[in-house]
């Protein structure tokens, strides 16, 4: 009996000791662990979307804002028939009933029904008065301008993450930090949301200020859309930028989309073609060819090229021109867009100089524009150029570029030779303090010398004044630019018949450039016109003309200038790819020669009466003066009068031509 009693006491002591040990373990050693587990059974943490920063245009107009809307969730533990509830909710929300039922069945006390509902949808759900359904306030993205600048701004998805455009590229700045809220489970397994359970408030994202101007953007989209419809083109791309900074004022592709309902559109409509798509530049690239020859001091605007009546044989292959030209000055080669003339200029420059000039303009590499999906285009290394590459590249075949690259290259000509990095975001506002983005604007290199840029400017003016770009002319302003009509490559190789990209790139005012514009129409119906000068140039004028007035740029009233010492083209030597540039008299020699022919001494104004406008402009230019021309025909009157001191002209001479005897 004693042994049994002792054994019982030992067992009791061990049992009591085990209980005490377990209590010490639960209440003291592992207290924190089990407390957290218990709290976890009573609380659930829910992340709520934070307001994204507002995106403004350059004048502070809202392009993207965040608004507070309802998100709906359900506690499945309080739902007797999840299938029936899923059917009711799916009918109102237009979602998949089975997927919603599975979501509710797979959760214990919390399941999202739908997030970021529009007010009418939220009201419809409330009207159902379903048990276990609750609401949380979240931030939803809204785009008040709808389609305007949609491909630049982009959009944010249902998780509040930027997916395209600026929304995607600057998501880390704009997104902010989500809030966290606690959901409390009561004794009846019900759930409540109390403000006291919130332990992290949302942190709104930073605001962005773009270079985009909504008014210019709207004008560009309106005119581009009308052109695509009028020409029955497959698509269209256009952009406007400031040549003195690289700031993009407007950029769009057609067809476009409404970011408020982005899911209803295809990815092609989301795409910003000016940045993502590359194309053969066609004759717009003759500007680059001209730059290469001018930088090497191989040509002068008055040099004459034999364009061989519309075709040329290069390395055993005949290449045709778009027109049968005979002899053209270099200026006319660009103005009339002669392929044969451009080939001869390119061959004169040589492949190394041409390739180097292409690279200086930024082709073959990313521009660095702050938009997603940028393409670098296609430019083969010079070592891999085939034997006829120089000929084809000289008039814009055999390489591809993006619209933003091409516009940036023309901007370099417009601003005197500096290549700027294009950009869209100009300032970031944090906590209400607006700060310009560091490093913008940014010069990334020199494309051409200032003197070459000036000569190119005048060559491009001639394109609009008397060449293929006449329809780009804008009343009151001088326009410089280049047309392009590029035949598209065929999938099977070579070029496809009847498929073109018609384009125009230019800037205005030509002498004080404020805007650079590009318009490209992809595959316009040939029956509606397909040459860049016919279908793209008028769109440029329709956009840039009103934009200049909107920006307060005063109209120009300056007459056309020519190069000092310019002579009649028939007197110039005809250049071939192999011939060196001929020696020409200096400006001083030419000036003395012309002054002597007038019968007046040095320092006196000659008599311009009886001269053609061209002759008169040449002679005034040799004196360092600018001629203001009125009317047409031969000079009939001038102010100051012949024999007056040059100083009295104060830099200008007024010339009235026959048929216009006064102001």
Residue numbers annotated as active site: 283
Gap between the Cα atoms of 201 and 54, Å rounded: 19
Q: Quick check: helix, strand or coil at residue 94?
A: coil
Tell me whether residue 552 is exposed, middle or buried, using C-beta atoms within 10 angstroms of its C-beta: 0 to 12, 13 to 18, 19 or more: exposed
Gap between the Cα atoms of 535 and 233, Å rounded: 10
Q: Cβ distance 132 to 186 under 8 Å?
A: no
339, HSE (Cβ side, Cα atoms, 13 Å): 23
DSSP conformational letter for 190:
-
Gap between the Cα atoms of 102 and 90, Å rounded: 12
- Two tokens, residue 626: 């600018």
CA distances from 461 to 86, 331, 378, 568 (A): 68, 10, 29, 19
| Backbone CA torsion sign across 410, 413, 418, 424 | negative
- Two tokens, residue 21: 């040990």
- Two tokens, residue 455: 């000569």
Q: Cβ distance 468 to 540 under 8 Å?
A: no
User: How many beta carbons lie within 10 A of that of residue 654, not counting itself?
Assistant: 15
Q: Residue 152 — φ and ψ, nearest 5°?
A: -80, -50
Gap between the Cα atoms of 92 and 294, Å rounded: 69
Tell me whether residue 35 is exposed, middle or buried, using C-beta atoms within 10 angstroms of its C-beta: 0 to 12, 13 to 18, 19 or more: exposed
Angle subtended at Cα 472 by Cα 470 and Cα 478, rounded to the nearest 5 degrees: 90
């Amino acid at each position: 009996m004693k042994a049994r009693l002792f054994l019982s006491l030992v067992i009791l002591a061990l049992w009591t000791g085990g209980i005490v040990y377990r209590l010490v373990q639960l209440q003291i050693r592992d207290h924190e662990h089990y407390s957290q587990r218990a709290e976890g059974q009573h609380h659930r943490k829910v992340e709520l979307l934070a307001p994204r920063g507002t995106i403004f245009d350059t004048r502070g107009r809202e392009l993207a804002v965040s608004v507070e809307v309802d998100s709906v969730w359900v506690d499945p533990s309080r739902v007797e028939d999840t299938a029936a509830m899923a059917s009711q909710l799916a009918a109102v929300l237009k979602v998949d009933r089975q997927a919603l039922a599975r979501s509710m069945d797979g959760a214990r006390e919390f399941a999202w029904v739908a997030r970021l509902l529009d007010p009418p949808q939220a009201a419809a759900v409330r009207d159902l008065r379903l048990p276990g359904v609750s609401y949380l306030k979240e931030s939803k993205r809204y785009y008040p301008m709808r389609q305007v600048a949609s491909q630049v701004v982009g959009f944010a998805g249902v998780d509040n993450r930027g997916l395209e455009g600026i929304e995607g590229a600057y998501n880390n700045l704009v997104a902010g930090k989500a809030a966290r809220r606690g959901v409390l489970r009561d004794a009846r397994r019900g759930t409540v949301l109390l403000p006291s359970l919130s332990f992290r408030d949302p942190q709104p994202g930073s605001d962005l200020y773009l270079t985009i101007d909504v008014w210019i953007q709207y004008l560009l989209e309106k005119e581009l859309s009308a052109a695509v419809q009028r020409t029955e083109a497959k698509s269209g791309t256009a952009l406007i930028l400031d040549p003195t900074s690289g700031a993009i004022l407007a950029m769009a592709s057609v067809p476009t989309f409404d970011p408020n309902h982005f899911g209803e559109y295809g990815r092609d409509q989301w795409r910003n073609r000016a940045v993502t798509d590359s194309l053969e530049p066609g004759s717009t690239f003759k500007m680059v060819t001209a730059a290469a020859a001018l930088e090497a001091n191989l040509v002068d605007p008055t040099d004459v090229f034999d364009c061989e009546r519309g075709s040329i044989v290069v390395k055993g292959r005949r290449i045709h021109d778009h027109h049968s030209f005979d002899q053209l000055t270099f200026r006319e080669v660009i103005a009339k867009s002669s392929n044969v003339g451009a080939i001869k200029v390119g061959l004169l420059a040589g492949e190394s100089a041409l390739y180097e000039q292409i690279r200086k303009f930024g082709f073959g590499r990313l521009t660095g524009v702050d938009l997603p999906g940028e393409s670098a285009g296609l430019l083969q290394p010079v070592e891999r150029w085939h034997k006829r590459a120089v000929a084809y590249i000289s008039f814009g075949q055999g390489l591809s570029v993006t619209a933003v690259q091409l516009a940036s290259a023309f901007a370099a000509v417009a601003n005197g030779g500096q290549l700027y990095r294009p950009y869209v975001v100009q300032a970031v506002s944090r906590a209400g303090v607006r700060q310009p983005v560091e490093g913008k604007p940014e010069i990334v290199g020199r494309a051409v010398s200032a003197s070459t840029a000036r000569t190119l400017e005048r060559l491009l003016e001639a394109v609009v004044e008397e060449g293929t770009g006449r329809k780009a002319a804008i009343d009151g302003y001088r326009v410089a630019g280049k047309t392009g009509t590029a035949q598209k490559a065929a999938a099977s190789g070579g070029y496809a018949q009847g498929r073109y990209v018609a384009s125009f790139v230019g800037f205005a005012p030509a002498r004080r450039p404020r805007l650079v514009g590009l318009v490209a129409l992809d595959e316009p119906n040939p029956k509606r016109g397909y040459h860049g000068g016919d279908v793209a140039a008028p769109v440029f004028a329709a956009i840039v003309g009103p934009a200049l007035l909107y920006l307060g740029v005063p109209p120009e009233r300056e007459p056309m200038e020519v190069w000092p010492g310019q002579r009649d083209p028939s007197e110039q030597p005809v250049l071939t790819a192999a011939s060196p540039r001929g020696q020409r008299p200096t400006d001083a020699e030419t000036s003395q020669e012309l002054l002597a022919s007038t019968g007046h001494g040095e320092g006196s104004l000659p008599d311009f009466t009886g001269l053609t406008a061209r002759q008169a402009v040449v002679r005034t230019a040799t004196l360092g003066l600018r001629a203001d021309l009125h009317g047409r025909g031969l000079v009939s009157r001038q102010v100051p009068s012949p024999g007056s001191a040059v100083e009295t002209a104060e830099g200008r001479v007024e010339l009235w031509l026959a048929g216009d005897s006064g102001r």
